Structure 1
Amino acid sequence: MVSSTIFNQTLIMLILIAIGVICAKTKLISEASNKDLSKFVLQVVNPVVIFMSYQKPYRTELARNLLITFGISVAAMTLVILLSYLFVRKKQGREFEIERFSSVYSNCGFMGIPLVDAIYHDEGVFYLTAFITVFNLIVWTHGVILISGKKDFRQVVKVFYSPTIISIVLGLITFFFEIRLPSTALNALGFIKEVNTPMAMIVSGVTIAATNVPKLLKNLRVYYVCLLKLIVVPLILAVPLSLLTGVDEKVRMTVLIAASAPPAAMCTLLSIRYGRNSVYASEIFTAGTILSVVTLPLVVKATEYLTKIL
């Protein structure tokens, strides 16, 4: 069952996160070093994982499923944004921008890639690239406008220069034109690919270690946002996904897992950049990452059940 596989994988990831916390507490990895490691994962390791997922023989079924994933991802992100405006109302004195952002945008790269790779391997990551593309386009438009309060559409242009998008474009070219790298190059990139999960989780652990946990536990709004992001929104999204019985299960589950991953760390980074409450954003990220170990398997299990009865 997919749900049991996800549970085992999230437990592994929790252990790796704990190692990151230990590394931070023992000063083995400093905050400055962690930022560099985070950049390395985002700008080198993740793009390599994505590119490698395209190094496979061209099949019409794969191409068709990829296009379907693009369409479903756009619909899913639109629904989630609408739900965020319904459940997180604008209120004086409340950090509603951070709460809306955290309830919409997931750690689909850091958490999504390791999870999907563990369950569906390269084919799952192949479909996940469609969601990541849609995610990047929306987060750098709607997401930035939400946090900054300014309509800066110049950010859209910058998206296309990001390593993630470049790796997707290069991957698509090699897939459709059936271009294969020499075995030596593939082996070298394969070594980089293998460090994705441990590095991403250790970086998350170091980030979590900097959070004031006692303060976090007292903030009920953190739990509310996590409830929205990890349970309410994914379960609502699971209903239409369960009805798409004609769509490959790998496509449906990949989109669900990506959308149900914990709140994106990007919220903290953007909050720092635009002068928002980055501590609050970090608290939501921390709580969401820990709670997702339980919620992700439950959401997938519920979706499997809905698919059978609907």
Structure 2
Amino acid sequence: MEVFITAVNKLIIIFLLVLIGCFAKKKDIIDDCFIDKFSGFLTKIVVPCFIISSMQLSYTPELLQKGIVVFVTCMIMHIWGMLVGFGTGKLFRVPHMNLGIWVFSCMFANIGFMGVPVISMIFGGNSVFYCAFATAAFNLASYTLGIWIIGRYGDGSHPVEISLRQLLKLPVNIAIIIGMILFIGNIQLPEAIGGTVKMVGDMIAPLAMIYIGAVLGRMRLKEMIYDRWAYVISIIRLIVVPLTAYLMLRPFITDQLVLGVVIVGLSTPIGAYCAILAAQYGADEKTASRYIFISTALSILTMPFFFFLFI
């Protein structure tokens, strides 16, 4: 009962942080320019610091093995999401121009901005270490399969370019590489540096939730809430994909924490990267934004179900 109450309180905290961000945007305390810059601050500084800090653990082969299990499982689940996306896209006769966005939405959840902070708050412990492997899987799949899918169903005006150098230059991936070197080498950062990295990384939960609230706050409701397909794709993203994944993986993954990180990560809404790629490769950016908005709003109601599977 105590664990249940703790989880509920953390969910309320998450919801209130989102409301604070939304309120700040609606009252013009923060503007669009701040939100855009804030996104870069999170992805280039806070999240990398969080990942490095989370990997400052004593090396054990078992811990590394479980991290690899998370990585491989997440890659398989991205493939599963792609199959679900193409299957439902054909079932609902999604227009060619929107099919790439539809499939991408089924494949990639918002592991960075929602998955990592929420998982760290709900599970704690080694869950943040496993999040680094889940993030690595997301980056690898989204920068290869994701770009290819969005580009293939765009207007054809932008050639699809998949660059390994670009992938390795991502701050998050650099942080994962640094974290892995420190972890495998059993190297602890000096107290002053390690303390600074940890302090910055610990800001991820409140800042990420406030950022998401601010993004929701700048959307015009009338443009968003009347797209019925946004609700359909949100149900697929938030319920169908993680629930089917849970049923498939439960017989094979006995470690509840490993399974919890994967499933809760899958239960997060459509990643904001979908809209970025849509704009870059000639797909419908507005449709992608509607999908992201509705799925993010509904995720506050659906994600708790998956938390409670593991507490």
Q: What TM-score do the two structures reach when normalised by structure 2?
A: 0.90
Instruction: Give the aligned residue type for 1:226.
Output: S
What stretches of structure 2 of length at least 5 have no aligned partner?
153-157
> In structure 1, what is the Cα distance between the partners aligned to 2:82 and 2:8?
27
**Corresponding position of 1:128:** 131
* Contact 2:105 2:237 (C-alpha < 8 Å) held by counterparts: yes
2:229 to 199, 211, 221: 221
* Partner residue in 2 for 1:30: 31
Aligned to 1:180: 188
Among 190, 201, 212, the residue aligned to 2:198: 190
Cα deviation for residue 277 of structure 1 reads: 2.3
Q: What secondary structure sits across from 1:139 in the alignment?
A: helix
Tell me if structure 1 keeps the 8 A contact 2:22–2:214: yes
Q: What is the aligned-residue identity percentage?
A: 26
Shift in Å, 1:156: 3.4
Deviates more, 1:213-222 or 1:50-59: 213-222
Counterparts of 1:248 and 1:93, CA distance in 2: 41
Q: In the alignment, which of 89, 93, 98 is matched to residue 95 of structure 1?
A: 98
2:286 is matched with 279
1:32-87 residue CA offsets vs partner (Å, 9 max, x unmatched): 11111000101110011011111111122211211221221222211111111111
The correspondence of residues 1-310 of structure 1 with structure 2, limited to 5 A, is 7-89=8-90, 91-92=94-95, 95-149=98-152, 152-245=160-253, 247-301=254-308, 303=309
The one-letter code matched in structure 1 to 2:69 is I
Change in 2 beyond 3 A, CA 1:9/1:98: farther
Contact 1:271 1:281 in 2 (8 A): yes
Residue 146 of structure 1: SS of its match in structure 2? helix
- Secondary structure (helix, strand or coil) at the match of 1:154 reads coil
**Residue 282 of structure 1 aligns to which amino acid in structure 2?**
S
Between 266-275 and 285-294, the greater mean CA deviation after superposition: 266-275
Over 3 Å counting, the alpha-carbon distance change for 1:110 and 1:219 in structure 2 is: same
Q: Is residue 131–residue 261 contact of structure 2 (8 Å, CA) maintained in 1?
A: yes
Q: 1:11·1:293 contact (CA, 8 Å) conserved in 2?
A: no
Q: Distance in 1 between matches of 2:168 and 2:6?
A: 34
Where structure 1 has 5 or more consecutive residues not aligned to the other structure, the ranges are 306-310
Give the whole-Å Cα distance in 2 for the aligned partners of 1:94 and 1:144. Answer: 14
SS of the equivalent of 2:186 reads coil
Cα separation, 2, equivalents of 1:54 and 1:221:
40
TM-score (norm 1): 0.91
Amino acid at match of 2:206: P
- Asked if structure 2 preserves the Cα contact closer than 8 Å seen for 1:269 and 1:278, the reply is yes
Aligned to 1:308: none
Query: Is the partner of 1:243 in helix, strand or coil?
Result: coil
Secondary structure of the residue that 2:38 maps to in structure 1? helix
Does structure 1 conserve the Cα–Cα contact (< 8 Å) formed by 2:70 and 2:133? yes
Q: Pairwise CA RMSD of aligned residues?
A: 2.1
8 Å CA contact retained: 2:85, 2:106: yes
Shift of 1:155: 3.0
Contact 1:7-1:294 at 8 Å conserved across structures: no
Partner of 2:155: none
Indicate the larger mover: 283-292 or 209-218: 209-218
Moved more, 23-32 or 103-112: 23-32
**Number of positions where the alignment pairs a residue of Structure 1 with one of Structure 2:** 303
- Whether the 8 Å contact between 1:174 and 1:180 is mirrored in structure 2 is yes
Q: 2:69, 2:215 → 1: CA distance?
A: 35
